[in-house]
Structure 1
Amino acid sequence: MNNKLQNKMIEDMQLCDYCDRTQKSYSRAVRQLSNFWHVPAEEIAEQQVREYFLYCKNDQGWSASTMRIAYSGIKFFYTHTLPMDWETLRLLKIKRLTTPPTVLSINEVRLILGTARTPQARAFLATVYSCGLRLQEALNLTVHDICKERMTLHVRQGKGGKDRYIPLPKSTYNLLVEYWKTHRNKALLFQALGRDRKKGRTATTPMARSSVQQMMRRILKELPKIKKHATLHTLRHSYATHLIEAGVNLRIVQQYLGHSSLETTMIYLHVTDMGNSDAAARINRLMGGLDDA
């Protein structure tokens, strides 16, 4: 697409309050469509869009999640930026898979934290797990987001641009304080160190997503006992599941995770049988003695 349309699409997505990652993914989807046909996006016809989706689905075997991103980006462009009344955009349906997430046990989480090589790595992973944060939420944390008096963490501009407050465990607070003493940056909690670690005090950019993800992969590689396919986001899944297993109300878990819908939080009920076992125990207590009647 030409620069004018490209800029308009970015502005349209900004008006819709889409995050940077979504903007990049949607823009990439339109570029891939254009590159496939070797013509600008504004010259593509509906039949070409239809054939492109069929090719990606049947010949390329794209997963549902990859198809969803491509479809959403292309639909956005031809619905908002360059409006087209195309039946194809209304026809395509991609089911969202709701497979239960991978969850680590508390002992497995402790193993991961114990294998972290640096104070930065340990403090970061502990914060992600014990506060149930998304990766970008953790990277964006500042010193001012910690309230020592209330022992809470202020998550700013989470998914959907929403702020929320989360209880900050004392043990995690202690790790953060000890780590902060190694750099004493006045703003960022998890700053990019680069090759010169002495610049940590004045760094103005957070750690890179790729660096943190690589760190997690390296730790898991050193722990052959953990057979599960885990990622950094698995720590957030584990946090939610462990809270539910501890008896925390589902609405509270929803609030801490920053979910808009309770239905999203309810997926964690499928990865624990604590609710069923607790119900069975209550039923047995309630019905106890019936055989003596």
Structure 2
Amino acid sequence: MNHQEQERFSRLYEKHLKTLKLQGKAQKTIEAYARAVRRVSSYFDCCPDNLSPENLQDYFADLIETHSWSTIKIDRNGLQHFWKFVLKKEWEWVEIVKPPKVHTLPDILTPDEIQMIISATRTDRYRVFLLTTYSMGLRLGETLALEVGDIDAKYQRVHIRQGKGNKDRIVPLPDLTLMVLRTFWITHRHPKLLFPNPNGSPETIRQATGPMDRGGVQQAMKAIVAQCGIKKKSQFTPSATVLPPISWNRA
């Protein structure tokens, strides 16, 4: 896009981010809806404010070929927000794209599969991360966000903050998980984070401002699952029931 269009897009994009924040959207939602606007702008190489319904139909027809319906739905919602709250235009989404309603059950790992994955993990921080995630039925982002102050060792419980739907909850803390977390924390002694960014010297890690990289955890998980020969897709689906005791043998 030319310089004038780029400036117009930047103004509208910043307004898009502002309206999302003012509506109290979760950070992941903000990122997804922002990505939707960037993607359609990149596709047409122009500011998307003058795109017609026909343009958007062509765009989504191509997007369906390379992305899941889940992504299509998120992008549709992101663009709908952009049209309604930024451009102040009507959004006839039914006529543009309508993802099918599909009700599927997630793949739940069995206790034996979880034990296999943890045993096959050779990097300590990932082993501790996976044990923590599965033993307490957490989501990936919830484990990454854990802080020292969230652990109540006396009553063996953990305060999960801003989980799905931006809701807090309390979950039981198994004996083994508490022991392993204590041992792992001693290796970095970060004053706040349980899983700080591990890059750099010990002093750098103690001063890290953020947790381990989400993408790095996901890639490590995929590699371990492939190594174990597990074909299920939803490896980070929280367990629906309390797991039986998991053995912990240091790699």
Q: What TM-score do the two structures reach when normalised by structure 2?
A: 0.84
In the other structure, the counterpart of 1:156 is: 161
User: What is the Cα deviation at residue 84 of structure 1?
Assistant: 1.0
User: What is the Cα deviation at residue 163 of structure 1?
Assistant: 1.1
Q: Is the 8 A contact 2:109 2:235 kept in 1?
A: no
User: What is the Cα deviation at residue 217 of structure 1?
Assistant: 2.0
In the other structure, the counterpart of 1:43 is: 50
| Residue 63 in structure 1 maps to residue 71 in structure 2 | no
In the other structure, the counterpart of 2:38 is: 31
5+ residue gaps, structure 2, are: 1-7, 245-251
5+ residue gaps, structure 1, are: 247-293
Which structure has the greater CA radius of gyration?
Answer: 1
In the other structure, the counterpart of 2:93 is: 89
| Identical positions, percent | 33
Amino acid at match of 1:20: Q
In 1, Cα distance between equivalents of 2:66 and 2:121: 37
Q: Secondary structure at the match of 2:25?
A: coil
CA deviations on 1:189-234 (whole Å, 9 max, x unpaired) are: 001111434533332221000111122123223323xx32345414
**Comparing both structures, which one devotes a greater share of its residues to helix?**
1
In 1, Cα distance between equivalents of 2:197 and 2:163: 21
In 1, Cα distance between equivalents of 2:44 and 2:136: 46
Q: Is the 8 A contact 2:197 2:205 kept in 1?
A: yes
| Residue 218 in structure 1 maps to residue 242 in structure 2 | no
CA deviations on 1:32-67 (whole Å, 9 max, x unpaired) are: 22333333112222332233334434xx36431121
User: What is the Cα deviation at residue 142 of structure 1?
Assistant: 0.5
Q: Which has the higher contact order (CA 8 A, sep 6+)?
A: 2
Q: CA RMSD in A?
A: 2.2
Q: Is the 8 A contact 1:5 1:81 kept in 2?
A: yes
User: What is the Cα deviation at residue 72 of structure 1?
Assistant: 1.0
Q: Is the 8 A contact 1:17 1:160 kept in 2?
A: no
CA deviations on 1:212-267 (whole Å, 9 max, x unpaired) are: 1122123223323xx32345414x1xx11x34x99xxxxxxxxxxxxxxxxxxxxx
Q: Across the two proteins, how many residue pairs are aligned to each other?
A: 236
CA deviations on 1:64-114 (whole Å, 9 max, x unpaired) are: 11211221111111112212124x224443234222211221111111112
Q: Is the 8 A contact 1:130 1:172 kept in 2?
A: yes
Distance change >3 Å, CA 54–CA 216, structure 1 → 2: closer
Q: Is the 8 A contact 2:195 2:212 kept in 1?
A: yes
User: What is the Cα deviation at residue 140 of structure 1?
Assistant: 0.8
Distance change >3 Å, CA 77–CA 181, structure 1 → 2: same
1:228 to 219, 228, 231: 231
In the other structure, the counterpart of 1:186 is: 191
Distance change >3 Å, CA 27–CA 147, structure 1 → 2: same
Q: Secondary structure at the match of 2:11?
A: helix
Q: Is the 8 A contact 1:17 1:161 kept in 2?
A: no
Amino acid at match of 1:66: T
In 1, Cα distance between equivalents of 2:9 and 2:61: 26
Indicate the larger mover: 18-27 or 152-161. 18-27
Distance change >3 Å, CA 36–CA 186, structure 1 → 2: closer
1:6 to 3, 13, 36: 13
In 2, Cα distance between equivalents of 1:215 and 1:29: 27
